[in-house]
Amino acid sequence: MSRTILTEPQSPRSRAAAKSRTKLHDKQSERDHRELRIDKVGVRGLRFPIQVRDKARAVQNTVATIGLFVDLPKEFKGTHMSRFIEVLAAHGNMIHVENLRDILLALQDKLNAATSHVEMEFPYFMSKTAPVSGKESLMDYTARFDAAACEQEIDFVLTVKANVTTLCPCSKAISARGAHNQRGEVTVQVRFRKPIWIEDLIAIMESSASSELYALLKREDEKAVTERAYDHPVFVEDLVRNVALKLNAHPDVTWYKVEAENQESIHNHNAYACIEKG
């Protein structure tokens, strides 16, 4: 007589434990035979809360879009993407900019890399007061950190973007009534000996244009802003030169790149200029 032996069915937890004991193949660590080193590989487009220094309020909390990268030697097929997130998570639920060096070195250590890179782009807010009414409102700007490490050597570039008003000197000179004006975007990238406030770069850019912008203007403010722009016409060339002169005079700036782009109001194209101090 044959006997049927009944076994207790495996629980989901038991099956998971058995699976975890099975060694999974590490495809990324396979040998690659194309003999091509990759300069930067990693993750991009990751949104994460950060804390940056604020000149008026000590710190400002915001949300950055982050990229994390390392170099990949020619011998390896791929990198381990999850390890980038592990490095970020190891620094808590909010990144403090002062920790960027630690993050760069942790990336090198975690991924056995010689170089590492971190990019962060985020909105930065400043309170502004209208020129006549004194009404306060928040203006948003775009700031960006690009940090790279080659072993212990760190390179850091701060980028700030600000919108301004520009009024065309040529239009003012040839027109009997008024002059065309437009919104322009100024982008400044700097390297420095000592940290530079984001607010100070914004002030340099805005003071170099025909007029700065405001989120809130009453009628009396609008009159003051448009008249100021009319009294201070600038070409896009004037704009980048004005910014560059002020950066040349800054004792802590070692390198800069200034770009300006005007969204022309009477042309179907933009006007652009750039100055870089090597």
Domain boundary among 61, 92, 120: 120
What does the pLDDT read at residue 97?
84
Straight-line distance from the first to the last Cα atom of the chain, in angstroms, rounded to the nearest whole number: 93
- Spatial distance between the Cα atoms of 164 and 214, rounded to a whole number of angstroms: 9
Q: Are residues 115 and 150 in the same domain?
A: no
Q: Which tops the pLDDT comparison, 24 or 242?
A: 242
- Spatial distance between the Cα atoms of 191 and 157, rounded to a whole number of angstroms: 5
Least confident of 8-22, 39-53, 108-122: 8-22
% of residues, the chain, pLDDT over 70: 89
Domain boundary among 63, 90, 120: 120
Paired tokens of 2: 């044959």
The string of pLDDT tens digits covering residues 244-277 is 999 999 999 999 999 999 999 999 999 999 999 9
Inside any domain, residue 70: yes
What does the pLDDT read at residue 184?
96
- Spatial distance between the Cα atoms of 219 and 132, rounded to a whole number of angstroms: 9
Bridge partners (DSSP) of residue 178 are none
Mean pLDDT of 202-215: 98
Q: For residue 78, what are the CA distances in angstroms to 28, 29, 83, 148, 220?
A: 4, 7, 12, 20, 61
Inside any domain, residue 260: yes
Query: What DSSP string runs through 25-92?
Result: P-STTSB--S---EEEEEEEEEEEEEEEEETTTEEEEEEEEEEEEEEE-TTBS---HHHHHHHHHTT-
Question: What's the pLDDT band for 4 if we cut at 50, 70, 90?
Answer: very low
- Spatial distance between the Cα atoms of 228 and 223, rounded to a whole number of angstroms: 9
- Spatial distance between the Cα atoms of 236 and 165, rounded to a whole number of angstroms: 11
Q: At 103, which CATH number? A: 3.10.270.10
What does the pLDDT read at residue 251?
95
Inside any domain, residue 220: yes
Inside any domain, residue 268: yes
Mean pLDDT of 138-151: 96
What does the pLDDT read at residue 50?
95
Q: Which tops the pLDDT comparison, 34 or 31?
A: 34
Q: Are residues 115 and 87 in the same domain?
A: yes
What does the pLDDT read at residue 5?
47
- Spatial distance between the Cα atoms of 223 and 230, rounded to a whole number of angstroms: 11
Paired tokens of 157: 């570039």
Q: Are residues 160 and 106 in the same domain?
A: no
Q: What is the DSSP letter of 14?
A: H
Domain count, the chain: 2
Domain residues for the domain of 135 are 130-278
Q: Are residues 156 and 255 in the same domain?
A: yes
Mean pLDDT of 122-138: 97
Q: Are residues 68 and 178 in the same domain?
A: no
Domain boundary among 120, 150, 179: 120
What does the pLDDT read at residue 26?
64
Query: What DSSP string runs through 225-269?
Result: HHHHHHHS---HHHHHHHHHHHHHT-TTEEEEEEEEEE--SSSSS
Q: Are residues 106 and 238 in the same domain?
A: no
